[in-house]
Amino acid sequence: MTEPTQTTDFGYRKVAKDEKAQLVAEVFHSVADKYDLMNDLMSMGIHRIWKRFTVDCSGVRRGHRVLDLGGGTGDLTAKFSRMVGEDGQVVLADINNSMLKVGRSKLRDRGIVGNVAYVQANAEELPFPDNYFDCITISFCLRNVTDKDKALRSMFRVLKPGGRLLVLEFSKPVIEPLSKIYDAYSFHILPRVGEMVVGDADSYRYLAESIRMHPDQATLEGMMQEAGFEQTSFHNLTGGIVALHRGYKF
């Protein structure tokens, strides 16, 4: 008797767990070249404020090791590179090679070299030693991970005692009128913009669906606690459209 295939969410679809990573990869291969432009268009530039707040909450200083997980085109890496200085290190890690290539090219064009390393890695099985990083950030990526609990445990393992994890992710609006406007924008306007700019409406339809399937603020905080993180908290940004979760390893 064959065992039933385990499934997971891919947007609103159910797919086999071992298929999701490839499906997500296809989305980001498609959008990688225009990823930064679409971020500016989708958020009207507000994503830069969300990321700046994340950096300000990181506690990163000179000499630290930082993992920018799912860091894509390197917005956070660029900021952390300046903060850790020549004695520190920032690892820009992403499972998607197309995104990693765009990030590497962009940062090198800006003269950011020396203290930045690039690693293609799966968040569920991070290829780093135990107790290695002072800070880990994962920005607009966790919702695309197949096994989020496994990924959180993997992040906990490679974080130093006293280190912190920051999860910046789309979340659940806490103001009802805003929620309705956000839904209308996500499902009617966003795919059209994706079609016009990238030639790919389906990828942006998936991104909107993946946001709706992501755990809400309290649920994600509970998942972080289950993974071992302590002193967890979250801060809603733009009415809860985005939330920054924090947790520490002691």
The annotation places the binding site for S-adenosyl-L-methionine at: 73, 94, 122-123, 139
Which secondary structure element, helix H or strand E, spans residue 196, and what is its range? Answer: helix 190-197
By the 10 Å C-beta count (0-12 exposed, 13-18 middle, 19+ buried), 175 is classed as middle
Bind-site residues: 73, 94, 122-123, 139
The answer to whether 127 and 155 have CB atoms below 8 angstroms apart is no
DSSP state of 6: P
* Residues facing residue 119 across a β-bridge: 93
Radius of gyration of the chain (CA): 18
The answer to whether 142 and 74 have CB atoms below 8 angstroms apart is no
Candidates 13, 28, 11, 24; CA nearest to 194 is 28
